[in-house]
Structure 1
Amino acid sequence: MGVIDLNADLGETVEGVPTADDEALFAVVSSANVACGGHAGDAASMAASVERAARFAVAIGAHPSYPDLAGFGRRKIAMSAAELRSTITEQLAALARAGADIRYVKPHGALYHAVMTDADHADAIAAAVADLAAQLGRDVPVLGMPGVIAVAVESMGLSFVPEAFLDRGYRGDGTLVPRGEPGALETDAATVSARAVRFVREGIVETVEGTAIELGAASLCVHGDSPESVALARAVRAALDADGVEVRAPW
């Protein structure tokens, strides 16, 4: 029997309007990356996420971003490391004030990709998370794709947990196909669910070039803000359950 974490980006309310069916998604995931005001989310949506997480026994992770409500956090913002550390600290605190027991942190959007190569911004994220870990008196892992962020996090004495995406296209070098390019998004439930099972069993994912690459990951992500998100997540969970894979948060 295999074991894997299944996560989704949730609580992404924009101007009071949810971008996903959070109720349906909380029912099938084991970890929820909760927006905490940088790109989406507000006090009400964070409180709702905390309530759902308790009801469905789902682990809560903070999902901070560049301060970019207008761009949904998908634009890299020019900020000093000190400025970024400050805004991330504020976002983590906002989620904590909503009653969240923050078990891990996963950067969102442009920040997620930036910290794979931008050492200054990776260090800023790591420092903000290390501050939270010190307050809580325990490890607060960072979830993401490998890069300089892993080095920054581990240098702070924190854990880095790699993840893989089920509904995004991969290139042969292990990077994601940029949004807007052909093959960037996968919307077929059968394909996505088969990819999940194959990943758990073999540790590989097929690329847009038709090759297979190895990815070491302890968590699989299905994005919550796509129209197909609920169908995809349910199909993935059903396929994993049918294959005897235990879906469980590692935090």
Structure 2
Amino acid sequence: MIKSLDIVSDLGEGFGSYQIADDDSLLQIVSSANIACGFHAGDPRTMASTVQKCIANNVAIGAHPSFPDRVGFGRRGMDLSALEVETDMLYQIGALNGFAQAFGTKLQHVTPHGKLGNYVVEDSKYANAVAEAIAKFDDSLIIVTLPGELAEAAKKKGLRIAYTIFADRAYNTDGSLVSRNQPGAVLHDIDLITSRVLRMVNEGKVTSITGQDITVKGSSLLLHGDTAGSVQMATKIRDSLIANGIIIKSLNATK
């Protein structure tokens, strides 16, 4: 059976004249994009431009909502109420959806960014609030996340789920991501990362930071655009996947 995989990258994570990734090059490689919605990065012009570029490159669009933490790039923890999380989600998804509608397209998915993305895997309060917001906004949207609380909350609401696997992030033995505060959390060896991705896709296995093999599953591979050498890494990973018979397509693609 021929396998397929969605390759996704976080895009539109600049602000005004500033950007941290080569979005134009990555758009030639990925099949989907997580677009920043203004809380950790992004602004109206950046969001509009990124949506238009995705359309031009036939790249599916997803919302990448975050904690309201522009200074910390959404990577700092925040103690918010369920109502705050839900309404922050609705605000951000609605903003990106406005640009999608304006340019004649639709959102494919939602994936929480940074520390919020970590919290929803482990904390039912945050997970339920995020699932509730998505269910209220558009229950056809796919929730892209790691296995955990958000996936379970989404299942209870009948929402679609796609699990994500990470190309350049180290895993703990429980399947969670190693904190960026720890040494070795982000991988940089392109050859190692590529072989690791192929093993995750073909065998459903990855070696954790402690050296133990663990099981992983996912239909969406995340490539971080702000990692050094990200374009070269993404190109090699895509080419290696295709050479191994893996079809690259977005989550909603039928062919």
Calculate the TM-score normalised by the size of structure 1: 0.94
Partner of 2:125: 120
Partner of 2:183: 182
Counterpart residue identity of residue 76, structure 1: G
Partner of 1:31: 32
- SS of the aligned residue for 2:138 comes to helix
Partner of 1:194: 195
What does the per-residue CA deviation read over 1:95-119, in whole Å, with 9 as the maximum and x for residues that have no partner?
Answer: 0111252111000000000111221
Mark the runs of 5 or more structure 2 residues left unpaired by the alignment: none
- SS of the aligned residue for 2:121 comes to coil
Report the CA distance between 1:179 and its aligned residue: 0.6
2:111 paired residue among 106, 109, 118: 106
Q: Tell me, yes or no, if structure 1 residue 212 matches structure 2 residue 213.
A: yes
TM superposition outliers: structure 1 runs of 4+ over 4 Å: none
Mapped partners of 2:172, 2:124: distance in 1: 23
What does the per-residue CA deviation read over 1:7-41, in whole Å, with 9 as the maximum and x for residues that have no partner?
Answer: 11111013431110000111101110000111001
- SS of the aligned residue for 1:164 comes to strand
Counterpart residue identity of residue 210, structure 1: G
- SS of the aligned residue for 1:213 comes to strand
- SS of the aligned residue for 1:76 comes to coil
CA contact (8 A) 2:200 2:217 kept: no
Mapped partners of 1:42, 1:104: distance in 2: 20
Mark the runs of 5 or more structure 1 residues left unpaired by the alignment: none
The percentage of aligned residue pairs carrying the same residue is: 39
1:133 paired residue among 123, 129, 138: 138
State which drifts further: 104-113 or 6-15: 6-15
RMSD of aligned Cα (Å):
1.3
Paired residues for 1:1-251 under 5 Å: 1-99=2-100, 101-134=106-139, 139-251=140-252
Mapped partners of 2:117, 2:135: distance in 1: 17
